[in-house]
Chains A and B, each alone.
Chain A
């Protein structure tokens, strides 16, 4: 405890402390200024979410994979085991069986081959997504296969291994029946997993919450999580890319509405017992907001006028820039020409490959393109590098200037842009019903990502009653229409 009155003591103490830790100046870190890699709050949220979720999902995927491999091995080795075990255990007492058995061996071999190919075709595919809950049908099928194989083993163990049956042909036929039943279970798997949802039953309406982009899709009978997966795959291909820069105008208008009014409370709040004060405060807030709404309605608001003229002006500006851009690009494309094969051998002078050609003509159109992108608020979607790459691509494939410009004049689907613009790989499914339950009429669920959410509603396609009516081709007869009315 320092005594502040004795300054000498204080100075001594401080000097001692400094000498103890002589090199503290070298080990302190100095902030040299802002670094180039600055992270916004959203980026931090996104990174932490990615980190904490990737670990859990990998575990689940490996778990499912090992289960599947074990089940597959069990299924394929069981018929072979049924055939081989009698030979190993009681070879001397087995009845030799001739041609009939050999025929059955061939059929077992081919059926197993077909089963192998079919399982490879249906199940051995790279997973497209990781869903929140287990895929119910697949789990049920796995359980069914397991129970089936176990019951066959049980029967085999009790009736054949225990009693050491000598009728080898019967054993071979038993193995063949197992393989047949496995093929039928595979047929069941195709029907449940693939065929059932092909026929469209529901029409879902997908709306993006920030700018109202809406699309309609037809889906079959799916569970909610699989329907969400289908919707997201369509989203990446169909919806134009989410552009937050376009939403700032409406936000500023909303802010202006609220900023115009201030509420002053002239009467003092009523002094009463505890619960009365809370109710009075709530009632006060209620009346305040009502007063604000009434005042806003009465005020002569000219913001609609501003919006109209602003939008007309913006439209004019965009069209002017677009005209300049089109002319600049067309002129730039006339500067280069594709060399033919014969010319290539003759003059190896100033020959360029597509990338160099793109770099050569890019500066003449760069300014017009940049101005156009700024006006339509798309400048963050396209980098210089990507524009030059696209230009080289168009030149290589003999595309016209109009074809080159098409990707800049209108916003394309999200997949066309670079990876950083996909803007969400992590989606959250928000649903009131269980996500493994099926889609029904009037189901509503949300797909949330960091910047926006997609609202999905489903409606059933109605039951159609169709009847037939036969028209005799000879019954198509016509008369002239005459109908006059005369006044007398």
Chain B
């Protein structure tokens, strides 16, 4: 998940589709985000590279829409409904996720276990 400045970022991503839930007068997704280009990346407990200023999932409310859709704590969100999330401020990310006229958000998330699974399957294939 580390990036080389100037080069395009490559990552193995999972597509997660979350239906917003109407609760308490708001449409909620059931998770919390942290990070952003205006935030201190060194305090992110989930990132591998402590200079990574991407948006990470910091908390998932159990039983909520995100939990049911399969989002995991520590996932890095790469795209939300086609909008890029790797170089946005914290507030911009929040706005993209909480648009009132959208009832479904399609996220592209990446996590370490995905990379490992792909590497393992590649390695296994090579041994065969």
Q: CA separation between A486 and B28, bound complex, in Å?
A: 12
Distance between Cα atoms of A484 and B34 in the complex (Å) = 6
A249 to B32, CA, bound (A): 66
Question: Do A488 and B33 touch across chains, with their CB atoms under 8 A apart?
Answer: yes
Complex alpha-carbon distance, A318 and B39, angstroms: 63
Which A residue's beta carbon lies closest to that of B36? A484
- Would you call A487 an interface residue if the criterion is a C-beta within 8 Å of the partner chain's C-beta atoms? yes
The contact of A488 among B29, B38, B39, B43, by CB within 8 Å, is B29
A485 interfacial by beta-carbon distance below 8 Å = yes
Whether, in the assembled complex, A126 has its beta carbon less than 8 Å from a beta carbon of chain B, the answer is: no
Interface stretch of the complex, out of A235-243, A276-284, A399-407, A475-483: A475-483
Pairwise interchain contact B31-A483, C-beta atoms closer than 8 A: no
Q: CB-CB < 8 A to A487: which residues of B?
A: 28, 31-32, 59, 61
Taking a contact as CB atoms under 8 Å apart, the answer to whether B58 and A488 are in contact is: no
In the docked arrangement, what's the CA distance between A483 and B58, Å? 12
Q: Is the CB of B28 within 8 A of A488?
A: yes
Interface size class of A (residues with CB under 8 A): under 10
Majority-rule SS of A interface residues: loop
Write out, one digit per residue, whether chain B residues 91-117 have a CB within 8 A of any chain A CB (1) or not (0).
000100110000000000000000000
**In whole angstroms, how far apart are the Cα atoms of A487 and B57 in the complex?**
10
User: A485 — which chain B residues lie within 8 A by C-beta?
Assistant: 32-34, 58-59
A488:B97 contact, CB within 8 angstroms = yes
Q: Does B19 contact A (CB under 8 A)?
A: no
- Contact (Cβ within 8 A) A482 B33: no
Given A488-B28, A488-B31, A488-B33, do A483 and B39 touch, yes or no (CB 8 Å)? Answer: yes
Asked if B72 is at the interface of the complex by the 8 Å CB criterion, the answer is no
Contacting residues, chain B, for A484 (C-beta < 8 A) = 34, 39, 90
| Cα distance A487–B43 in the bound complex, in angstroms | 18
Residue of A nearest to B91 (CB): A486
Chain A residues whose CB sits within 8 angstroms of the CB of B32 once the complex forms: 485-488
Interface residues of A in 445-488 (CB under 8 A from B): 479, 481-488
The minimal Cβ–Cβ distance linking A192 to chain B, given in whole angstroms, is 58
> When chains A and B are docked, how far (Å) is the Cα of A487 from the Cα of B66?
12
Report the separation of the CA atoms of residues A479 and B28 in the bound assembly, to the nearest whole angstrom.
33
Chain A residue numbers with a CB within 8 Å of B40 are 479, 481-483
The smallest C-beta distance from A188 to any residue of chain B, in angstroms, reads 61
Give 8 nearest A-B pairs by CB, closest first: A487-B32, A488-B97, A485-B34, A483-B43, A488-B29, A486-B94, A482-B39, A485-B32
Measured CB to CB, the residues of B under 8 A from A are 28-29, 31-34, 38-40, 43, 58-59, 61, 90, 94, 97-98
Q: Beyond A484-B90, A485-B58, A488-B31: 7 further Cβ-contacts under 8 Å?
A: A481-B40, A482-B38, A482-B40, A485-B59, A486-B94, A487-B32, A488-B28
Binding site for B on A (CB under 8 A): 479, 481-488
What would 15 A/B residue contacts be, using CB atoms closer than 8 Å?
A479-B40, A482-B38, A482-B39, A482-B40, A483-B40, A484-B90, A485-B32, A485-B33, A485-B59, A487-B28, A487-B61, A488-B32, A488-B33, A488-B94, A488-B98
